[in-house]
Structure 1
Amino acid sequence: MNDDHHAAGAMSFIFEAGVLKRAARTGWWFVGVKHPESIADHSFRTALIGMMLAAMEGADPARVSMLCVLHDTQETRITDIPHIARRYLTAAPNTAVTADQVAACPPAVANLINAAVAEYEAGETPEAIVARDADKLECLVQAVEYRHQGIDNVQRWIDSSRAALKTASAHRLADAALTGEPLAWLTPRPPPA
């Protein structure tokens, strides 16, 4: 394959990833969120949380952020399947979906993305453990925000997300999310003495 073909393949994946900006996280519809955040919104904050957790846990923040950015890219093809639907549906493994998505990319790009998704899915490296915690913690934080906006029936998301956390730092951040105010950052704080 020539460089132009690989560039077109890479751009195809970039365009496909753009769908995540428009694709909603569907599970929130069950509790009355009419316009839930997009998959891209979720992935952005997951990467931010992952970077912070990595620093707190001694993992590689750049690697964790990359795993977080890529963890739901398969949902352009298989959608965001709500937890309840997983009882009835079987989707292709994320690694297989990713391999199809990046097959026409330059080999270095395809290898990088395939390896990152495989690492995340295996969940064994410190970076994958932290990235998975970031995913669950972002869901918990989103549930807390929705609760503060008047959506009452979010406790199951909080409970299941919290139960899935592995690292001590993620547990500490979850505690802070559950006792914090999502808009406290708007209140000016006095400068440090």
Structure 2
Amino acid sequence: MSEDQDAAGAMSFIFEAGVLKRAARTGWWFAGVKHPESIAEHSFRTALIGMMLAAMEGADPARVSMLCVLHDTQETRITDIPHIAKRYLTAAPNTAVTADQVAGCPPAVADVINAAVAEYEDGETLEAIVARDADKLECLVQAVEYRHQGVADVQRWIDSSRAALKTASAHRLANAALTEQTLSWLAPPNA
């Protein structure tokens, strides 16, 4: 492949990932959220939470953040399939979708992305465990925020997300999310 073809392949993936800024997290519609967060918004905060959890758990924060950024990129092609729909639908494995997405990228880029998605999907390394906790914790935090905005039917998201957490740090953050006020950060320091 020429350098121009490599660049075009990489840019194709970048443009495709941009779709995630416009694609809604559809499961929230069942809770009554009319305009739910986008997949990209979810992935951004998941990466931030992942970086923090990694520091708390002794994992590699940069690696965890990368896993978090990439964990839902496949949804440009298979969409955000709500949990209930997964009872009836079978999607291609995320690793296969990712391989197709990055097939035109420079080999070094494709290798990095494919390896990260495979690690996340395998869920065996400390970084993958922390990244998965970040994903669940972000869902819990989003549910708490939606509840604060008046969406009443979010408890099932809180309960299922909390039950899926593996690390002690994620459990501590979940407890804080459930007891703190969503706008407590507006208070002046030491107030």
- Number of aligned residue pairs: 191
Q: Residues of 1 paired with 2:187 and 2:59: CA distance?
A: 32
* Corresponding position of 2:126: 126
Shift of 1:188: 1.6
* Corresponding position of 1:141: 141
Shift of 1:186: 1.2
Give me the CA root mean square deviation: 0.7
**Structure 2 counterparts to residues 53-64 of structure 1, below 5 A:** 53-64=53-64
The answer for unaligned runs of 5 or more in structure 2 is none
Shift of 1:190: 3.2
Identity of aligned residues (%): 87
Structure 1 length-normalised TM: 0.98
Q: Residues of 2 paired with 1:31 and 1:164: CA distance?
A: 20
- Amino acid in structure 2 at the alignment position of 1:44: F
Q: Residues of 2 paired with 1:101 and 1:190: CA distance?
A: 48
- Amino acid in structure 2 at the alignment position of 1:152: A
**SS at 1:40 equivalent:** helix
- Amino acid in structure 2 at the alignment position of 1:47: A
2:48 paired with 1:48 = yes
Q: Residues of 2 paired with 1:56 and 1:83: CA distance?
A: 29
* Corresponding position of 1:16: 16
* Corresponding position of 1:109: 109
Please give the per-residue CA displacement for 1:104-150, whole angstroms capped at 9, x wherever unaligned.
Answer: 00000000000000000000000000000000000000000000000
**Structure 2 counterparts to residues 149-188 of structure 1, below 5 A:** 149-188=149-188
Q: Residues of 2 paired with 1:9 and 1:138: CA distance?
A: 31
**SS at 2:17 equivalent:** helix
Shift of 1:189: 2.7
**SS at 1:177 equivalent:** helix
The answer for unaligned runs of 5 or more in structure 1 is none
* Corresponding position of 2:69: 69
**SS at 1:145 equivalent:** helix
Shift of 1:93: 0.1
Structure 2 length-normalised TM: 0.99
